[in-house]
Amino acid sequence: MSKLAFLFPGQASQYPGMGRDLAENFPESRAVFEQADAALGFSISKLCFEGSEDALRLTENTQPAILAVSVAAYRALESRGITPGFAAGHSLGEYSALVAAGGLDFTPAVKLLRSRGRYMQEAVPAGEGAMAAIMGLSPADVLEVCRKAAQGEVVSPANLNSPDQIAISGHAAAVKRAVEIASQSGAKRAVMLSVSAPFHCALMAPAQQRLEPDLRATQFNNLRFPVITNVDAETIASGDEARDALIRQVTQPVRWLDCVREMIDSGVSIFVEVGPGKVLSGLLRQIDRSVRCFNVEDAASLQSTLDKIAAARSEASDAG
């Protein structure tokens, strides 16, 4: 049997109208949005279904909104008997992966992400931090670029996304210098990203300090299937390991490339991106074109993915 893994997206996958089709078509998905609205005390579902791009881009909205859509998509898959052998989530997506694996209940998760978004937003005054994407340089080269650009400020690799794409994060001036140095050092592209805070770098220490007590006060359970963590790119099975990884994740880089390779090395050949957009599907193609990747974000993509998984499994059993 082909091993299956679920991938849960992070920030920048949001779009206006996301999740509406799931809520309209699947009672189990609709229940997730109702639970989110009750937990947060306002209608995050309305924000997902009808909110503007600007409102969705506010980090304290984006994080719980993406979780809600991802878990709504997961519940639709789960109720049709599709469960993964592994899961991983990109940054805030790790919370979605842990909810799917039973390591964290949905209600505390959506509250944690609302706070996490606010803490991250407030950690660095607007305009003082920035992020950029660098394409076509190795991790070692990007590290060297950051070292040269720092000049006493913070700038470091934040998301090691694929062999071709690394995001950096830090003080705005240092990130701008790094973009210039990367361009001169042979990068295919180096571009500033439109984000509201410099995620996954040392500047997020105040956010980590505020989030840690919240995470310590939250109950975590052992996982029904292994989750690969962003910080270590290794599988975990216990709630304590999950909590520890989420605390460290705030200031540490997302080792996405290593996470995906870990799953492929463990025999995964089919990936499903569960939640809004296809950002992770695009990264997967840059990492390894021999594996298959489908996505689920509405009724049509759910049906298509169910059909493709069934076809891939029957192909594999014929081959076996």
Closest to 131 measured CA to CA, from 195, 60, 201:
195
List, as one string, the DSSP characters of 169-229: EEEHHHHHHHHHHHHHTT-SEEEE---SS--SSGGGHHHHHHHHHHHHTS-----SS-EE-
Cross-strand pairs, 191: 133
Using DSSP's 3-state secondary structure scheme, residue 272 falls into strand
Using DSSP's 3-state secondary structure scheme, residue 2 falls into coil
Query: From the CB of residue 303, how many other CB atoms can be counted at a distance below 10 Å?
Result: 12
Whole-angstrom Cα distance, residue 150 to residue 172?
A: 11
From 45, 70, 196, 200, active-site residue = 200
Whole-angstrom Cα distance, residue 204 to residue 198?
A: 7
Residue 200 is a catalytic residue: yes
Whole-angstrom Cα distance, residue 117 to residue 14?
A: 14
Residue 91 is a catalytic residue: yes
Closest to 253 measured CA to CA, from 261, 245, 241, 264:
245
Whole-angstrom Cα distance, residue 35 to residue 39?
A: 6
Whole-angstrom Cα distance, residue 153 to residue 171?
A: 6
Closest to 228 measured CA to CA, from 93, 102, 95, 89:
89
Q: Do 248 and 60 touch, CB atoms closer than 8 A?
A: no
From 2, 29, 91, 156, active-site residue = 91
DSSP 8-state code for residue 14: -
**For residue 301, how far is the Cα from the chain centroid?**
19
Cross-strand pairs, 183: none
Catalytic residue numbers? 91, 200
